[in-house]
Amino acid sequence: MSSEKPLLAGVMGWPIHHSRSPRLHNYWLRQHRIAGQYMPLPIMPEQLALALRALPVLGYAGCNLTLPHKTAAMALMDDVDRDAQRIGAINTVVVRDDGTLYGRNTDVEGFVHNLLQAG
């Protein structure tokens, strides 16, 4: 394992107990010997703004979003990727070095990749 500061990330949603993401991401962190933790973040919709603004303070590198937060979170970002703006939703929040929040939608990349693979 690296001696660097551990990577903290998670998946934010409500409810979140059903998500397999923490188990999957933590498995790959261990497999690649990356010091870090991917946490389930059960956040009710009325707590979303507070939770997102707490990410940099708590040392998180970012988080993934699931229902019901994908649309509401977009308005809370400091900056949003062009594809996400067109779609009207984000599924990934990146905490930048200066503490600002950058929203992306990686569903588009996966969808386009699959279309290209299918030919």
Q: What is the pTM assigned to this prediction?
A: 0.88
pLDDT at 114 exceeding the cut of 80: no
Please give the Cα distance from 37 to 23 (Å, whole number): 10
Backbone angles phi, psi at 69, to 5 degrees: -95, -10
Domain locations in the chain as residue ranges: 7-118
The catalytically annotated residue of 52, 70, 77, 105 is 70
- The alpha-helical segments, DSSP class H, found in the chain are 21-31, 48-57, 82-87, 106-118
Instruction: Based on the residue annotation, tell me whether 70 is a catalytic residue of this protein.
Output: yes
CATH architecture of 7-118: 3-Layer(aba) Sandwich (3.40)
Q: What is the model's pLDDT at position 116?
A: 67
Predicted confidence (pLDDT) per residue in 52-107, tens digit: 999 999 999 999 999 999 999 999 999 999 999 999 999 999 999 999 999 999 98
